[in-house]
Amino acid sequence: MAVLITGGAGFIGTHTCVELLNAGEEIVVFDNFANSKMSAVENVKKITGKDFPFYEADMLDRDAMEKIFSENKIDEVIHFAGLKAVGESVEKPMEYYHNNITGTLILTETMRKYGCKKIVFSSSATVYGSPKSLPIMEDFPLSTTNPYGSTKLMIEQILRDIYVSDKEWSIALLRYFNPTGAHESGLIGEDPNGIPNNLMPRLIKVATGQMEAMTVYGNDYPTKDGTGVRDYIHVVDLAQGHLAAINWVRNHTECDAFNLGTGTGYSVLDLIHSLEAVSGKKMAITYTPRRAGDIAACYADPTKAKTILGWEAKLGVEKMCEDAWNYAIKHQ
């Protein structure tokens, strides 16, 4: 009677493992370490004091998926595994479609074979493209501007079609806004392989002196200070949203989408000032033209997750910066 966490060694995966274990859930985890490390899995065990089966495996390996499902009684799946760098996806679309789409099909085919029909999918606010207004609601039009986002939208459609074909399935599509922060222990956090794309890991590299200055992509947006506005959500809040979604799929046979955001937008400069206050480090800033594909502002209407999943984010930007900084100084 376990929950399978695909890509469970990653940033959101490890934090979700911690929340599930702390809630008394049995879990099984696999990861191919494309953007994660075994040490993160060991730290999940250290934080919770609990052990669980872990497989180094790739969702494209049908035999490996067969092995996991034949050796464990899997009742639900939380599906994180996938390539997720927007810029890289533009350069390598075939790799992104093959890995994310084919991998998901192999996973769901294996689930069906073993009678496992409950899945929580790691989707993204990127499926909203450039929203017509704010805050964003789940019934807004969906469109994408890069292959990474398109894989998320396509997988949402695949899962909806699976539900239409067999109403015994229960599917939660979780649309993350901008996950950031780290577990307060400082043992797990955002630790991408290679050069990070996202704002917080790059801010941390400047605050720790690994990068000279913070590059701010555009300060001419129609926002309060001209820099991009996003709905940053603490990764622990996000992880608890998955626990709420697992409970929902257990008690329903439906397919539905939920925004996991705070409902509040913060600018790039807000994050810079908050991390400066927390770290005591003053950051040099270089303003450049806007980054291709970026939108001015994006933040959620999180009402649906609150009313249907009984979940809402509780942690603010200062806590996100405190925990991200704590993780960074423990992992320099």
Q: Which residues, in sequence order, are bridge partners of residue 214?
A: 285
183 binds ligand WQD (CB under 6 A): no
Distances (CA, A) of 31 to 126, 130, 289, 293, 307: 23, 32, 37, 29, 33
Of 12 and 171, CB closest to ligand WQD: 12
Of 69 and 228, CB closest to ligand WQD: 228
Is-contact 324 180, C-beta < 8 A?
yes
What is the spatial distance between Cα 155 and Cα 220, in angstroms, rounded to a whole number? 34
Any idea what the Cα angle at residue 139 is, between residues 136 and 142, rounded to 5°? 80
In whole angstroms, how close is the CB of 158 to ligand WQD at the nearest point? 18
String marking each residue 111-140 x if it binds ligand WQD according to CB under 6 A: -------------x-x--------------
Indicate the DSSP class of residue 289.
S
String marking each residue 79-108 x if it binds ligand WQD according to CB under 6 A: -----x-x----------------------
Is-contact 29 13, C-beta < 8 A?
yes
Of 110 and 124, CB closest to ligand WQD: 124
What is the spatial distance between Cα 152 and Cα 144, in angstroms, rounded to a whole number? 9
- Which member of 96, 148, 163, 327 is catalytic? 148
Which stretch, 103-111, 155-163, 194-202, 300-308, contacts ligand WQD (CB under 6 A)? 194-202
| DSSP result, 142-160 | ---SSHHHHHHHHHHHHHH
**Residues between 149 and 178 that touch ligand WQD (CB under 6 A):** 176, 178
Catalytic-residue membership of 148:
yes
Residues acting as catalytic residues:
148
Residues in touch with ligand WQD (CB under 6 A): 84, 86, 124, 126, 176, 178, 197-199, 202, 215-217, 228, 230, 268, 291, 294
